[in-house]
């Protein structure tokens, strides 16, 4: 059949047309071989633009479409749908990026126009070789895996569970709640974090649609969108969840009469026993035994008073790691963040001098359920009179993290208010800029200012101990352009947020992409902020980038909606870029099998050929690159298509 | 009408191709009965003038072996093209450039120097090198000019069919002769031999593991090859997967891995590049330094992967006739 | 070498990492030489050495292939390693054939490294400009 190509060049307002002479390019394209019609239009993705293509398909009998506009990632789907509406196989469309790959990255107008011509030429050459690609549909499993049970994971789980979807909520710590469970009050409304979080935590526990895996990690996710096989590794907590009634008498009866070990939950300012719960309202209310500190594990010779004191004999020192496999249709990654390790920026003296705390330690100290019972005390037991809060620790600093951590300014204001309120301390905030851009945030800032908190726009140079256990802050007052000093009793370092140390492993297991810092990448920063680049995997919360609770919750609800949209649609289309094996050509050499990472190709000994399971094929094309018999071709990326494209960009 | 006339000729060639033609043994009698050999200078005393005298298209087919390396080769090749209905490039040199074709990676000057002046067993104090004109005793002789580079036959003239091999095996030669005699003329550009790679007919293919992954590539003399097991799986570079079959796996049966004389399968643009692709891909290493170290141990990759196909390869090929 | 020589550069990028970086370079309005023409594959593992030679054959003066950072960034487990192995062997072969291996560049650029992409493409274009045109017909005299 005769090839009849239509070329559609988008102005994208002035985004393209401001650099590329679209009329000249259209004229050029109209003379390329097999091009029947070439048009340009203000917004090709708009309704009239789409209609124009559909009309042309019918009027000119087009059987190939080239759209020169933004990118395949952004609008590939749009124009495939357009082709479909016009009665063409959607894969007979080729997107050519003359915006991201040309007008936006080229300075000179003539050069940009020439480049657009060459890219369109390549697209036209390529589209000649396009063949219809048929995809099959697979049902979507209605279960969802949520990784991380902080406020993001909890919110998403509850939304989904309320809609009747079954959720597997996996948390690596022994208890859910994440960082929010550590906080005392939340800005700017100052409602207590546990008051708003703990009801949600119990709802998770009580919802029959949520299976909670705490002290567990996702080991592996196989399969594809709609049909993931998840392997979960449950670490032994040495207290059996099926027997424990949460009376906590094991903790009381532990041979250690007093807590002696650093509590991770209390960020190092509190102590716990080898058998512990994070806090008294922890979910699940089943203690964890830490084998690193438990005498039974360290010496094998403990009198096991915990077990003796346990009314249900739930303590089991022989518990082993357990592997659980579940099937889900969608995955939500809500893996959260960690705070900046303040010892890394040595000028602050954190970890060396007393009475210097991080904001998250201050949260624990302020928390009435925390290690000090909500009392703010210096190490000598006295009440601090003069407190400094230093913002941007580890943030907005090229040596550590160039980005703004977004929540710290508000945390600093909150702490200033609470310290004034509870102990009447004189508080000074050392800030770079105050960023209070949320609902009620600016008003809160103003309120705190009026309360008499001091604000110094300044860069801290160093903190050194001075007389009477006080601390001297040396800083540059950037409004006065002068180096100044100030003596205080206590310093709070307003630490930024960072991805977890093991973000690379997490990213690999969940098959997601990350920014160079380790934040999870969204598919599009504006239009697809909770969708990842991997189908069926969504992202929520501060794992994507630092964000406060309202934003986190909103994103978690959005991720839940995305997952639900996938599940309720009920089917997914198979990977279009799978490979085909031509039996007539296949020589049975099995080089393809050797390179396939997904075991999608098997050897048929009887016929002496390789056969592909397109359900397993993920469309990387490694086998097509290798096949020495040219028996394998990858849909949408055949040798001929790529040769034509390469030739196209090079020809004059 | 008499028997169809055929011709045979050699250019830059080792003579192995002629050997292969007579290697069909007693079947040569059938060939001789069926055709009239109009020209075969290697076997009988034919002159160029015999060829020149022929009518255009007088021969049905000619089998030309050897690479084109000088002006004489080209003149004769063009004559054959005129005089023969079908031109068959016979053997790896004519088909793809072959062993003489490896010279394409060197320039003519250094090559002449190497052969005529600096060679280990050359004594040439006057540094005499080939010239194109020579006069002695008043007689002027024209001497063919050596080209800057060797060519495969189809870079110089239009070729209809190809018989691969270094040399072609008797069976593939017979197949070509019988096909043409049968009148079922294949489409232009057809390469005789199998449609599938050597692995397809290799007796060791069934011993290949499901995944062939290699820790290290070794040369045949560095290992004691198990003749009952796929050589590639034993870590020896065997070009069987990328090479056209039809040779009856003679080298494999003789204990040597395939070096690729039958050339690529249909649709492969560049034999060597495709060989590099699968050989490199099956290296079992995920360590960048180790990958470099291991692959650097493969000696002479150009000669290994393009042993027979260099002039006709994408790196050198003069004619670009492959695109649409 | 001509003063006005504008090298032709083919950039083969994987969909998941380097193409995304190129999109980000676009949305961030970073400029780089227009000599670079991007061709996408799903994975660098799809890149057949024949593509590289085909590009040179068709007039490319330089080819750059870039994919996801090893060891873990590849969307298809180890396609980046597969490409790297081909690249190492192909580079050596090009050198033997008299094609400066600098004309084939290999990079790892992740989806967020638009700044690196800009730097690499600018640098590579300049390097090829210095090398001059890859005159493929250089040794084709005679016939």
pLDDT tier, B323 (very low <50, low <70, confident <90, very high otherwise): very low
HEC string for B118-176 = HCCCCCCCCCCCCCCEEEECCEEEECCCEEEEEECHHHCCCCCEEECCCCCCHHHHHHH
In angstroms, what separates the C-alpha of B71 from chain C's closest C-alpha? 8
- Claim to verify: residue A492 and residue A464 sit in the same structural domain: yes
Q: Search chain A and give the residue with CA nearest B275.
A: A628
Of A142, A150, A193, the closest CA to residue A170 belongs to A150
**pTM more than 0.80:** no
Q: What is the ipTM of this complex?
A: 0.95
Contacts of A13 (CB under 8 A, 6+ apart): A42, A43
Burial class (CB in 10 A: 0-12, 13-18, 19+), B286: middle
Q: Is residue A139 part of a domain?
A: no
- Claim to verify: residue A416 and residue A327 sit in the same structural domain: no
Could you report the per-residue pLDDT of A264-275, keeping only the tens digit for each?
999 999 999 999
Of C37, C42, C55, C39, the closest CA to residue C14 belongs to C42
Q: Which residues of C touch B291 (CB under 8 A)?
A: 81, 84-85, 88
Could you report the per-residue pLDDT of A470-499, keeping only the tens digit for each?
999 999 999 999 999 999 999 999 999 999
Residues of C with CB under 8 A from a CB of B: 48-50, 52-54, 56-58, 70-71, 78, 81-82, 84-86, 88-90, 92-94, 96-99, 137, 139-143
Q: Is residue A643 part of a domain?
A: no
Q: Is residue A68 part of a domain?
A: yes
Rounded distance, CA C23 to CA B259, Å? 44
- Claim to verify: residue A543 and residue A618 sit in the same structural domain: no
- Claim to verify: residue A443 and residue A395 sit in the same structural domain: yes
- Claim to verify: residue A492 and residue A511 sit in the same structural domain: no
Q: What does DSSP assign to residue A157?
A: H
How high is the mean pLDDT of chain C?
90
Contact yes or no for C89 and B147 at CB 8 A: no
Q: Is residue A241 part of a domain?
A: no
Q: Which of B74, B288, B315 sits opposite C143 (nearest CB)?
A: B74
Q: Which residues of B touch C92 (CB under 8 A)?
A: 295-296, 298, 301
Could you report the per-residue pLDDT of A221-264, keeping only the tens digit for each?
988 889 999 999 999 999 999 999 999 999 999 999 999 999 99
SS3 A112: helix
C140, pLDDT greater than 50: no
Q: Which of A589, A602, A625 sits opposite B241 (nearest CB)?
A: A589
Mark which of A102, A133, A164 sits at the end of a domain.
A133
pLDDT tier, B317 (very low <50, low <70, confident <90, very high otherwise): low
- Claim to verify: residue A444 and residue A349 sit in the same structural domain: yes
Contact yes or no for C49 and B274 at CB 8 A: yes
Q: Which residues of C touch A645 (CB under 8 A)?
A: 39
- Claim to verify: residue A483 and residue A592 sit in the same structural domain: no
Selected for mutation to probe chain C from A16, A68, A577, A646 (highest C CB count within 10 Å) is A646
Instruction: For chain A, list the contacting chains (3+ Cβ pairs, <8 Å).
Output: B, C
Instruction: For chain B, list the contacting chains (3+ Cβ pairs, <8 Å).
Output: A, C
- Claim to verify: residue A422 and residue A540 sit in the same structural domain: no
Inter-chain CB pairs, A–C, below 8 Å: 142
Answer with the residue of higher pLDDT: B268 or B119.
B268
Residue A383 belongs to domain with CATH number: 3.50.50.60
Contacts of B306 (CB under 8 A, 6+ apart): B102, B271, B272, B313, B315, C93
Q: Search chain C and give the residue with CA nearest B311.
A: C140
pLDDT value at position A513? 83
A594 touches chain B (CB under 8 A): yes
In angstroms, what separates the C-alpha of A106 from chain C's closest C-alpha? 5
Could you report the per-residue pLDDT of A623-651, keeping only the tens digit for each?
999 999 999 999 999 999 999 999 999 98
Q: Which of B199, B210, B277 sits opposite A587 (nearest CB)?
A: B199
Rounded distance, CA B216 to CA B208, Å? 17
pLDDT value at position B286? 92
Could you report the per-residue pLDDT of C20-63, keeping only the tens digit for each?
999 999 999 999 999 999 999 999 999 999 999 999 989 999 99
Q: Is residue A243 part of a domain?
A: no
Contact yes or no for A628 and B265 at CB 8 A: yes
Q: Is residue A90 part of a domain?
A: yes
Q: Is residue A118 part of a domain?
A: yes
Q: Which of C34, C37, C41 sits opposite A621 (nearest CB)?
A: C41
Mark which of A569, A590, A619 sits at the end of a domain.
A569
Could you report the per-residue pLDDT of A294-343, keeping only the tens digit for each?
999 999 999 999 999 999 999 999 999 999 999 999 999 999 999 999 99
Selected for mutation to probe chain A from B208, B247, B270, B272 (highest A CB count within 10 Å) is B208
- Claim to verify: residue A188 and residue A218 sit in the same structural domain: yes
Q: Which residues of B touch A643 (CB under 8 A)?
A: 269, 323
Ranges of beta strands (E only) in A545-625 are 571-573, 579-581, 601-604, 609-612
Q: Which of A588, A595, A647 sits opposite B281 (nearest CB)?
A: A595
Contact yes or no for B265 and A630 at CB 8 A: yes
Could you report the per-residue pLDDT of A350-374, keeping only the tens digit for each?
999 999 999 999 999 999 989 999 9
A603 touches chain B (CB under 8 A): yes
Phi, psi of B165, rounded to the nearest 5 degrees: 125, 150
How high is the mean pLDDT of chain A?
95
Mark which of A450, A468, A498 sits at the end of a domain.
A498
Percent of chain A at pLDDT exceeding 70: 100
Pick from A143-147, A390-394, B21-25, B266-270: least confident? B21-25
Contact yes or no for C111 and A515 at CB 8 A: yes
Structural domain span for residue A584: 579-635
Contact yes or no for A104 and C29 at CB 8 A: yes
Task: Summarize the confidence of residues C82-98 as an average pLDDT.
Answer: 95
Please count the structural domains in chain A. Answer: 5
Contact yes or no for C143 and B155 at CB 8 A: yes
Task: Summarize the confidence of residues A375-380 as an average pLDDT.
Answer: 93
B256 touches chain C (CB under 8 A): no
Q: Which of C39, C45, C76 sits opposite A649 (nearest CB)?
A: C39
A96, pLDDT greater than 60: yes
Rounded distance, CA B262 to CA B198, Å? 9
pLDDT value at position C141? 38
- Claim to verify: residue A157 and residue A125 sit in the same structural domain: no
Between strands A632-634 and A579-581, the pairing is antiparallel
- Claim to verify: residue A202 and residue A343 sit in the same structural domain: no
Q: Is residue A641 part of a domain?
A: no
- Claim to verify: residue A118 and residue A194 sit in the same structural domain: no
Q: Which residues of C touch A651 (CB under 8 A)?
A: 58-59
Beta-bridge mates of residue A213: A170
pLDDT value at position B44? 84
pLDDT value at position B321? 32
Q: Which of C19, C39, C112 sits opposite A646 (nearest CB)?
A: C39
Within 85-144 of B, beta carbons closer than 8 Å to C belong to 104-105, 107
Residue A78 belongs to domain with CATH number: 3.40.50
């Amino acid at each position: 059949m005769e090839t009849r190509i239509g070329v559609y060049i988008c102005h994208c307002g002035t985004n393209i047309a401001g650099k590329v002479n679209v009329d000249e390019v259209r004229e050029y394209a109209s003379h390329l071989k097999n091009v029947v019609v070439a048009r340009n239009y203000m917004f090709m993705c708009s309704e009239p633009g789409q209609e124009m293509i559909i009309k042309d398909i019918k009027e000119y009998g087009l059987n190939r479409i080239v759209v020169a506009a933004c990118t395949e990632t952004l609008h590939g789907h749009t124009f495939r749908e357009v082709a479909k509406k016009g009665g063409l196989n959607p894969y007979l469309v080729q997107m050519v990026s003359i915006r991201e790959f040309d007008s936006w990255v080229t300075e000179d107008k003539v050069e940009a126009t020439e480049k657009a011509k060459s890219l369109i030429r390549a697209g036209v050459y390529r589209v000649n070789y396009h063949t219809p690609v048929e995809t099959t549909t697979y049902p979507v499993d209605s279960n969802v895996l949520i990784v991380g049970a902080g406020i993001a994971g909890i919110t998403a789980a509850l939304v989904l569970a309320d809609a009747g979807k079954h959720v597997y909520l996996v948390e690596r710590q022994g208890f859910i709640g994440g960082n929010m469970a550590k906080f005392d009050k939340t800005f700017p409304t100052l409602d207590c974090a546990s008051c708003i979080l703990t009801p949600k935590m119990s709802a998770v526990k009580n919802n029959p649609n949520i299976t909670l895996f705490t002290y567990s990690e996702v080991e592996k996710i196989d399969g594809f969108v709609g049909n993931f096989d998840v392997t979960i590794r449950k670490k032994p907590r040495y207290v059996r969840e099926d027997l424990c009634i949460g009376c906590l008498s094991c903790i009381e009866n532990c041979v250690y009469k007093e807590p002696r070990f650093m509590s991770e939950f209390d960020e190092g300012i509190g102590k716990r026993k080898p058998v512990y719960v994070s806090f008294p309202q922890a979910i699940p209310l089943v203690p964890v035994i830490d084998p690193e500190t438990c005498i039974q594990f360290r010496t094998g010779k403990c009198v096991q008073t915990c077990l003796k004191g346990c009314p249900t004999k739930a303590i089991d020192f022989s518990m082993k790691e357990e592997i659980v496999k579940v099937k889900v249709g969608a995955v939500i990654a809500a893996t959260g963040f960690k705070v900046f390790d303040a010892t890394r920026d040595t000028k602050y003296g954190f970890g060396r001098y007393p009475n210097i705390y991080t904001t998250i330690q201050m949260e624990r100290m302020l928390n009435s359920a925390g290690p000090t019972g909500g009392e703010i005390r210096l190490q000598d037991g006295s009440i601090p009179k003069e407190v400094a809060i230093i913002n941007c620790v580890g943030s907005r600093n090229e040596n550590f993290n160039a980005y703004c951590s977004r929540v710290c300014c508000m945390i600093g204001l909150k702490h200033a208010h609470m310290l004034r309120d509870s102990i009447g301390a004189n508080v000074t905030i050392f800030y770079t800029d105050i960023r209070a851009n949320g609902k009620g945030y600016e008003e809160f800032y103003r309120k705190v200012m009026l309360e008499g908190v001091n604000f110094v726009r300044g860069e801290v140079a160093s903190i050194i101990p001075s007389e009477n256990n006080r601390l001297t802050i040396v800083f540059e007052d950037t409004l006065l352009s002068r180096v100044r000093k100030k003596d205080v009793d206590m310093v709070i370092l307003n630490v930024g947020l960072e991805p977890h140390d093991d973000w690379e492993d997490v990213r690999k297991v969940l098959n997601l992409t990350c920014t160079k810092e380790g934040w999870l990448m969204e598919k599009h920063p504006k239009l697809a902020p909770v969708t990842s680049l991997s189908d069926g995997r969504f992202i929520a919360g501060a794992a994507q980038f630092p964000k406060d609770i309202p934003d986190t919750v909103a994103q978690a609800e959005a991720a839940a909606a995305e997952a639900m949209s996938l599940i309720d649609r009920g089917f997914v289309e198979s990977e279009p870029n799978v490979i085909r094996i031509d039996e007539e050509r296949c020589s049975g050499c099995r080089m393809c099998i050797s390179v396939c990472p997904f075991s999608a190709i098997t050897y048929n000994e009887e016929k002496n050929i390789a056969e592909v399971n397109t359900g397993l094929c993920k469309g990387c094309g490694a086998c097509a690159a290798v096949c020495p018999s040219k028996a394998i071709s990858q849909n949408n990326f055949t040798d001929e298509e790529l040769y034509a494209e390469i030739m196209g960009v090079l020809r004059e | 009408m008499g028997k169809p006339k055929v011709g045979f000729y050699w250019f830059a060639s080792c003579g192995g191709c002629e050997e292969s033609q007579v290697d069909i043994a007693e079947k040569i009698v059938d060939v001789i009965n069926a055709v009239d050999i109009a020209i075969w200078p290697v076997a009988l005393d034919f002159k160029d003038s015999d060829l020149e005298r022929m009518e255009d298209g007088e021969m049905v087919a000619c089998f030309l072996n050897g690479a084109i390396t000088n002006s004489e080769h080209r003149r004769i090749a063009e004559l054959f093209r005129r005089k023969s209905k079908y031109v068959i490039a016979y053997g790896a040199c004519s088909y793809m450039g072959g062993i003489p074709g490896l010279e394409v990676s060197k320039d003519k000057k250094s090559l002449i120097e190497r052969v005529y002046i600096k060679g280990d067993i050359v004594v040439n104090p006057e540094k005499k090198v080939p010239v194109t004109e020579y006069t002695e005793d008043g007689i002027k002789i024209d001497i063919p000019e050596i080209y800057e580079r060797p060519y495969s036959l189809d870079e110089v003239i239009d070729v209809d069919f190809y018989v691969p091999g270094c040399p072609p095996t008797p069976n593939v030669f017979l197949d070509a002769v019988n096909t043409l005699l049968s009148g079922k003329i294949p489409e232009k550009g057809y390469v005789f031999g199998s449609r599938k790679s050597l692995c397809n007919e290799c007796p060791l293919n069934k011993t290949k593991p499901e995944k062939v992954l290699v820790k290290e590539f070794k040369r045949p003399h560095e290992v004691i090859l198990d003749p009952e097991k796929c050589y590639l799986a034993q870590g020896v570079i065997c070009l069987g997967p990328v090479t056209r079959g039809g040779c009856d796996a003679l080298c494999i049966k003789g204990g040597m891995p395939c070096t690729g004389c039958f050339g690529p399968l249909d649709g492969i643009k560049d034999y060597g590049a495709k060989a590099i692709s699968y050989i490199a891909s099956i290296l079992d290493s995920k360590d960048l330094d180790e990958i470099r170290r291991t692959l650097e141990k493969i000696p002479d990759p150009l000669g290994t992967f393009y042993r027979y196909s260099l002039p006709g390869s994408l790196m050198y090929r003069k004619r670009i006739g492959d695109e649409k | 070498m001509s003063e006005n020589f504008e090298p032709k550069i083919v950039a083969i990028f994987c969909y998941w990492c380097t193409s995304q970086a190129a999109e980000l370079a676009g949305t961030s309005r970073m400029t780089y030489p227009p000599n670079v023409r991007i061709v996408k594959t799903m994975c660098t593992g799809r890149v057949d050495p024949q593509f590289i030679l085909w590009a040179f054959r068709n007039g490319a003066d330089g080819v750059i292939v870039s994919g996801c950072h090893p060891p873990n960034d590849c969307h298809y487990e180890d396609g980046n390693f597969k490409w790297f192995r081909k690249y190492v062997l192909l580079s050596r072969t090009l050198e033997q054939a008299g094609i400066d291996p600098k004309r084939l560049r290999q990079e790892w650029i992740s989806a967020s490294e638009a700044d690196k992409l800009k730097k690499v493409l600018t640098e590579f274009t300049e390097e090829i400009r210095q090398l001059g045109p890859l005159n493929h017909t250089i040794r084709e005299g005679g016939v």
